[in-house]
C-alpha cells in the first residue's frame, strides 16, 4: 500500500504516535492542524451513509475523529467507504478541516474538525462483533465478554480500567524507587512456599518424578534477598494459588511484594502507609482519604467493634458488647449464652426502627446463613419506648438500657446476637455491612484505609491436631509474647489447643481499604532456633522442616538481618480505585469461577506424548473419562 507523505507533515510535540500509518491519532485532531494533509488509522466506530456523503467515525485508543467522504470530491474513496462496516480497520487520508458552524460536536475533543477524505484504504475487514464495541453502557453477559476478551478490551470501559491499572503499577514503581527499593524478579518454578493454599505443580522432565511448585508468593525468596543484603526489595509479583474461586480471587493474581531489612513493625507500616497515600494520590487524585494517619486497630478491637478483621470504616454502626446489660435478665437465650462463656453483641441500625416484618425476616435469615441461631430485634419508638418480641422477657427498663448500651435512639432498630464470641461477632459484622448497604452508607468516592495488627500468632487446626500460622509461618512473635511459644506439656512435638502458644500475638499487620483486605505482612523470625520452635508448634518434624524450608533455615545461619515486609493485592487495589467490586474487571485475561480461560480454551487435554515424556499418566474417576 502506498503511504502518503507530505511536506507539511505534522510533528506532534507530545504524546505517542506518529507512525508510517498515521500523522495523528484519532484523538489528536484539532483546529490548529486545519488545512494540513493528514492520515489517520483506526477502527470504524460508526458509519452513516447519506448517499453522496458517507461519515466514518474512526476510533483508536486515543479518541474518535469524523471522516467525511464526499462522492463529488473523491469518488474512489466513496466507493471504498460504501463497503466498510463497523470495526473494519481503515486508513483515511485527506485534509483536516474545521467543521461548518453549527455542525461541531461539543461532546468530542476532536469535534471542531473533520477529515475530508481523499483516499480510504481498508487495512482489515471485520465480522459483525458478538456485542457492540461502541456502546460503553451495553449490558453484555460476562461469559461472552470473556470468550471474546480481545473485543471487550477494545471497549472504552475496559481500556479505562486497564490504563488506571497501568498508572497504579507505574506509581508503585516510582514511589519504591524514590525510597531506595530495588526491583528484583524471582523465579516461577520454585519449591513450594506455603501460603495456606494448594500449590499448582509442574512436573520436571529432567528429573522425572519430581515437581516444581508455582509460587504462592515469593515469600522465602524475598527473605533470602534480605540475607543477601539487598535491604529493600520489591516486585510486581505473579502468584498462583490453587483454591476455590470467589469474587475477589483468581488462581493467578498480582501482588506488590516488598521486604525491608532492619525494621520494626512500625517502620514497615510507616513506609507502606506513606507509599499507599502517594500512590493513591497519583492514580486517583480526586478521591478523598477518610482518615490520615490510617487508624490502627488490634485484631481484638477490630472484632469487638466491627465483627471482622477487615472493617469498612466509612461508616459507624459499631458493635457493642451488651453482656453487662443483659446479665441476669432472666431471658433464657441471653442467660445460657453468657453462662456458657458466649457473648451478646448488638448494633443500632440507624433509622431502621420502622422496618417491616418482612425486612426483619430477611435480616434474620441473613444472620442464620452465617451461623446465628436467631436474631433478636428491638425497635425504638419516637417516644423512646421499645417494641420487641423479647420485650416481655426483658422488661421495659432493661430493654431501654439495652437499647442505650447498643447506641440506639428513637427511630432505630437494635439487632442483637447471642452466641460463641466468634459467631456473634461474625454474624453482626456481616449484618453491619448488610445494614450499611441497605441504608446507602459508605461513600464510594472515599478511600478508607486502616490497619489491623496484633493478630494471634496461631490458630488451632482441629483436623490436623496442631497449630497453624494465621498469616504465614515465618511471622515473628511480639517480643513480650516470645515466652509463650511453648506447649503446655513442655514437649514441643505435642501441641495442644490449651498451649500458651495460642495466646501469642504476631508482629503482623493487614492493610484494609473500604472493607477489603488489601494485603498483609509481618516482621519475620530471623533466628533459626526460634523459627524451628515455631515450626514445631505447627507440627513440623525436624526432617520435615529441613525438607520444606532447609534453604531458608541454612541461610539464617549465615547472618540474617531483622526484616519484615508485606504484599498488597494489585488486582484488588486497582478494582477499588476504579469503583469495581470484582477483580476480573481490572484483569486483562481473567479466568472464570471454574478456572477456565474461555478465550484460549484452557485448561485443555494434554498430548499423550507430553505426558509420556514426563512419565505421567492420568487416573481419572470414571465419570470424567
- Positive or negative CA dihedral for 451, 454, 458, 459? negative
How many C-alpha atoms does 499 have within 13 Å on its Cβ side?
32
Regarding 522 and contact with ligand ASP (CB under 6 A), the answer is yes
Regarding 569 and contact with ligand ASP (CB under 6 A), the answer is no
How many of the other CB atoms lie within 10 Å of CB of 210?
A: 10
Regarding 566 and contact with ligand ASP (CB under 6 A), the answer is yes
Select from 219, 220, 425, 514 the one that contacts ligand ASP (CB under 6 A).
219
3-state SS assignment for residue 154: coil
Minimal distance in Å, beta carbon 495 to ligand ASP?
A: 23
The residue (of 408 and 521) whose beta carbon lies closer to ligand ASP is 521
Regarding 195 and contact with ligand ASP (CB under 6 A), the answer is yes
The residue (of 346 and 565) whose beta carbon lies closer to ligand ASP is 565
Stretch that binds ligand ASP, among 1-9, 161-169, 514-522, 553-561 (CB under 6 A): 514-522
The residue (of 342 and 569) whose beta carbon lies closer to ligand ASP is 569
The residue (of 219 and 425) whose beta carbon lies closer to ligand ASP is 219
What DSSP designation does 12 have?
A: -
The residue (of 405 and 523) whose beta carbon lies closer to ligand ASP is 523
Burial of residue 105 (CB within 10 Å: 0-12, 13-18, 19+) is: middle
Length of the chain: 625
Minimal distance in Å, beta carbon 246 to ligand ASP?
A: 16
Return the exposure string of 35-56: e unless at least 16 CB atoms fall within 10 Å of the residue's CB, then b.
Answer: eebbbbbbbbbebeeeeeebeb
The residue (of 94 and 569) whose beta carbon lies closer to ligand ASP is 569
Regarding 472 and contact with ligand ASP (CB under 6 A), the answer is yes
The residue (of 120 and 260) whose beta carbon lies closer to ligand ASP is 260
Regarding 256 and contact with ligand ASP (CB under 6 A), the answer is no
Regarding 473 and contact with ligand ASP (CB under 6 A), the answer is no
Q: Cα(463)–Cα(505) distance, rounded to whole angstroms?
A: 22
How many of the other CB atoms lie within 10 Å of CB of 333?
A: 18
The set of residues, in sequence order, having a beta carbon less than 8 Å from that of 38 and lying 6+ positions away, is 10, 23, 24, 29, 93, 94, 95, 96, 115
Compute how many residues bind ligand ASP; rule: CB under 6 A. 11
Stretch that binds ligand ASP, among 284-292, 432-440, 482-490, 520-528 (CB under 6 A): 520-528
Minimal distance in Å, beta carbon 268 to ligand ASP?
A: 9
Quickly count helices (H) and strands (E) in the chain. Answer: 17, 24
Stretch that binds ligand ASP, among 42-50, 167-175, 405-413, 516-524 (CB under 6 A): 516-524
The residue (of 120 and 523) whose beta carbon lies closer to ligand ASP is 523
- Nearest partner of 119 among 99, 97, 98, 91, judged by Cα: 91
The residue (of 260 and 338) whose beta carbon lies closer to ligand ASP is 260
Select from 217, 220, 280, 470 the one that contacts ligand ASP (CB under 6 A).
217
- Nearest partner of 490 among 533, 456, 546, judged by Cα: 533
Regarding 565 and contact with ligand ASP (CB under 6 A), the answer is yes
- How many Å from the N-terminal Cα to the C-terminal Cα in the chain? 52
3-state SS assignment for residue 440: coil
Select from 476, 515, 520, 590 the one that contacts ligand ASP (CB under 6 A).
520
Regarding 521 and contact with ligand ASP (CB under 6 A), the answer is yes
- Nearest partner of 299 among 314, 317, 311, judged by Cα: 311
Q: What are the residues binding ligand ASP (CB under 6 A)? A: 195, 217, 219, 255, 472, 520-522, 565-567
Amino acid at each position: 500500500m502506498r503511504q502518503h507523505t507530505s511536506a507539511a507533515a505534522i510533528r506532534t510535540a507530545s504524546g505517542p504516535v506518529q507512525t508510517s500509518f498515521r500523522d495523528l491519532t484519532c484523538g489528536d485532531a484539532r483546529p490548529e492542524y486545519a488545512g494540513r494533509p493528514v492520515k489517520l488509522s483506526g477502527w470504524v466506530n460508526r458509519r452513516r451513509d447519506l448517499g453522496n456523503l458517507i461519515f466514518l467515525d474512526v476510533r483508536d485508543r486515543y479518541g474518535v475523529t469524523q471522516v467525511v467522504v464526499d462522492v463529488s470530491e473523491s469518488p474512489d474513496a466513496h466507493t471504498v467507504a460504501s463497503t466498510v462496516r463497523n470495526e473494519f480497520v481503515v486508513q483515511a487520508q485527506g485534509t483536516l478541516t474545521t467543521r461548518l458552524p453549527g455542525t461541531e460536536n461539543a461532546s468530542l475533543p476532536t469535534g471542531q474538525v473533520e477529515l475530508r477524505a481523499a483516499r480510504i484504504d481498508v487495512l482489515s475487514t471485520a465480522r459483525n462483533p458478538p456485542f457492540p464495541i461502541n456502546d460503553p453502557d451495553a449490558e453484555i453477559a460476562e461469559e461472552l465478554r470473556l470468550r471474546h476478551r480481545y473485543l471487550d478490551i477494545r471497549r472504552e470501559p475496559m481500556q479505562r480500567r486497564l490504563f488506571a491499572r497501568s498508572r497504579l503499577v507505574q506509581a508503585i514503581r516510582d514511589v519504591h524507587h524514590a525510597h531506595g527499593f530495588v526491583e528484583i524478579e524471582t523465579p516461577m518454578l520454585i519449591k513450594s512456599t506455603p501460603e495456606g493454599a494448594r500449590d499448582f505443580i509442574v512436573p520436571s522432565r529432567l528429573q522425572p518424578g519430581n515437581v516444581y511448585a508455582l509460587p504462592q508468593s515469593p515469600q522465602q525468596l524475598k527473605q533470602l534477598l534480605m540475607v543477601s543484603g539487598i535491604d529493600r526489595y520489591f516486585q510486581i509479583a505473579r502468584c498462583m494459588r490453587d483454591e476455590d474461586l470467589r469474587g475477589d480471587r483468581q488462581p493467578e493474581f498480582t501482588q506488590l511484594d516488598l521486604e525491608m531489612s532492619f525494621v520494626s513493625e512500625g517502620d514497615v507500616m510507616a513506609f507502606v502507609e506513606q507509599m499507599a497515600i502517594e500512590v493513591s494520590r497519583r492514580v486517583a487524585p480526586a478521591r478523598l482519604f477518610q482518615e490520615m494517619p490510617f487508624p490502627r486497630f488490634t485484631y481484638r478491637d477490630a472484632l469487638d467493634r466491627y465483627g471482622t478483621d477487615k472493617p469498612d470504616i466509612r461508616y459507624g454502626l459499631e458493635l457493642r458488647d451488651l453482656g453487662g446489660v443483659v446479665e441476669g435478665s432472666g431471658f433464657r437465650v441471653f442467660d445460657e449464652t453468657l453462662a456458657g462463656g458466649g457473648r451478646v453483641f448488638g448494633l443500632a441500625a440507624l433509622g431502621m426502627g420502622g422496618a417491616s416484618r418482612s425486612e426483619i425476616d430477611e435480616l434474620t435469615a441473613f444472620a442464620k446463613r452465617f451461623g446465628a441461631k436467631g436474631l433478636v430485634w428491638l425497635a425504638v419508638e419516637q417516644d423512646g419506648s421499645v417494641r420487641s418480641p423479647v420485650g416481655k422477657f426483658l422488661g421495659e427498663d432493661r430493654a431501654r438500657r439495652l437499647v442505650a448500651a447498643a447506641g440506639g435512639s428513637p427511630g432505630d432498630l437494635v439487632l442483637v446476637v447471642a452466641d460463641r464470641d466468634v459467631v456473634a461477632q461474625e454474624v453482626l459484622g456481616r449484618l453491619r455491612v448488610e445494614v450499611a448497604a441497605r441504608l446507602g452508607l459508605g461513600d464510594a468516592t472515599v478511600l478508607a484505609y486502616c490497619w489491623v495488627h496484633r493478630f494471634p500468632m496461631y490458630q488451632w487446626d482441629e483436623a490436623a491436631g496442631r497449630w497453624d500460622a494465621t498469616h504465614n509461618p515465618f511471622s515473628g512473635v511480639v517480643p513480650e509474647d516470645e515466652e509463650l511459644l511453648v506447649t503446655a506439656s513442655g514437649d514441643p512435638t505435642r501441641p495442644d489447643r490449651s498451649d500458651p502458644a495460642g495466646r501469642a500475638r504476631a508482629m503482623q499487620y493487614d492493610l484494609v481499604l473500604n472493607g477489603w483486605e488489601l494485603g498483609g505482612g509481618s516482621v519475620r523470625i530471623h533466628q533459626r532456633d526460634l523459627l524451628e520452635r515455631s515450626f514445631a508448634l505447627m507440627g513440623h518434624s525436624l526432617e520435615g522442616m529441613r525438607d520444606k524450608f532447609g534453604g531458608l533455615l541454612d541461610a539464617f545461619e549465615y547472618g540474617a538481618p531483622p526484616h519484615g515486609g508485606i504484599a498488597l493485592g494489585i488486582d484488588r487495589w486497582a478494582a477499588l480505585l476504579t469503583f469495581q467490586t470484582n477483580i476480573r474487571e481490572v484483569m486483562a485475561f481473567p479466568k472464570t469461577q471454574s478456572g477456565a480461560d474461555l478465550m484460549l480454551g484452557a485448561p485443555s487435554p494434554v498430548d499423550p506424548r507430553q505426558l509420556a515424556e514426563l512419565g505421567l499418566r492420568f487416573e481419572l474417576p470414571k465419570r470424567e473419562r
